[in-house]
């Protein structure tokens, strides 16, 4: 999955909050409703509802309908898009470091 710049903005901003990261961790173990996600936190359900909207706008989760409930589901492909963005630059940097080391070793011999 490839993402545009706005999607990266929203995704990284979504992860830049401990409450939303804890929700991601919870959802990795299975779907959950607003009430279930709210349970561990000392904040109102309205606040939790908005955290969920942030995650959904980022594409990190989707929502289904189950009667009155609106269960949330993690979207692994969206997470994968972030890691591949980061890995791109990490790997490039590590390659450069290895080339530098090789050059140093060559010069000292």
Interface with DNA (CB under 7 A): 13, 16-17, 19, 33-35, 42-47, 49-54, 63, 67-71
User: Cβ neighbours of residue 17 under 8 Å, at least 6 residues apart?
Assistant: 51, 54
From the list its own copies, DNA, none, partner contacted by residue 102 (C-beta under 5 to 8 A by kind)? none
Shortest Cβ 42–DNA spacing (Å): 7
Which segments of the chain does DSSP mark as H helices, in order? Answer: 5-15, 18-27, 34-38, 45-57, 76-108
Question: 3-class SS at 27?
Answer: helix
Binding site for its own copies (CB under 8 A): 5, 8-9, 12-13, 15-18, 21, 24-25, 27-30, 74, 76, 79-80, 82-83, 86-90, 92-94, 96-97
8 Å CB contact between 100 and 106: no
Q: Which CB, 18 or 109, lies closer to its own copies?
A: 18
């Amino acid at each position: 999955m490839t993402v545009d710049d706005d999607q990266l903005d929203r995704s990284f901003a979504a992860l830049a909050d401990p409450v939303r990261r804890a929700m991601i961790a919870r959802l990795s173990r299975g779907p959950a409703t607003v009430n279930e996600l709210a349970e561990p936190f000392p904040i109102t359900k309205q606040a939790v509802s908005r955290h969920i909207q942030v995650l959904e706008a980022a594409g990190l989760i989707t929502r289904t309908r189950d009667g009155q409930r609106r269960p949330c589901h993690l979207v692994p492909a969206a997470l994968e898009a972030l890691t591949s963005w980061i890995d791109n630059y990490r790997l490039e940097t590590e390659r450069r470091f290895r080339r530098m080391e090789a050059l140093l070793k060559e010069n000292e011999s």
